[in-house]
Amino acid sequence: MDVSQIITVPNVIFTIIVAEKVFTIFNYFKNPQIQNDKNDLLLSASVTSLKETVQHIKDNDLHTIQKTLEMHENTMKLLAIEAAKLQTIIDERIPKKTN
């Protein structure tokens, strides 16, 4: 066979069409994979950010709330003591009526 018999216009067109189809099929499978990889990266970044936020809340905000709650509990104890003292003073100064 001679090279001129192999390289004919129909053979060249056929080769170009086959190459185009192979490239189309390759892109059909490659592009969704690229998009999935991008989505995975975005999801991973979101999860990492969420973990950091939860850790921040756990480390700082819960500690602050706990300290504030302890402070309020101590204040309530002091108020109860003062109320008892006031009740004692009132009972001593104002005698109870007896019938």
Q: Give the model's pLDDT for residue 99.
A: 64
What tens digit of pLDDT does each residue of 43-83 get? 999 999 999 998 888 888 888 888 999 999 999 999 999 99
List Cα–Cα distances, 26 to 14, 30, 33, 58, 87, in angstroms. Answer: 18, 6, 11, 48, 88
Q: Give the model's pLDDT for residue 31.
A: 75
Q: Give the model's pLDDT for residue 78.
A: 96
Give the mean pLDDT of the chain.
Answer: 87
Domain edges within the chain:
3-93
Distance between CA 58 and CA 29 in Å, rounded?
43
Exposed (0-12), middle (13-18) or buried (19+): which is 4, by Cβ within 10 Å?
A: exposed
- 33: number of CA atoms within 13 Å, CB side? 6
Q: Give the model's pLDDT for residue 51.
A: 94
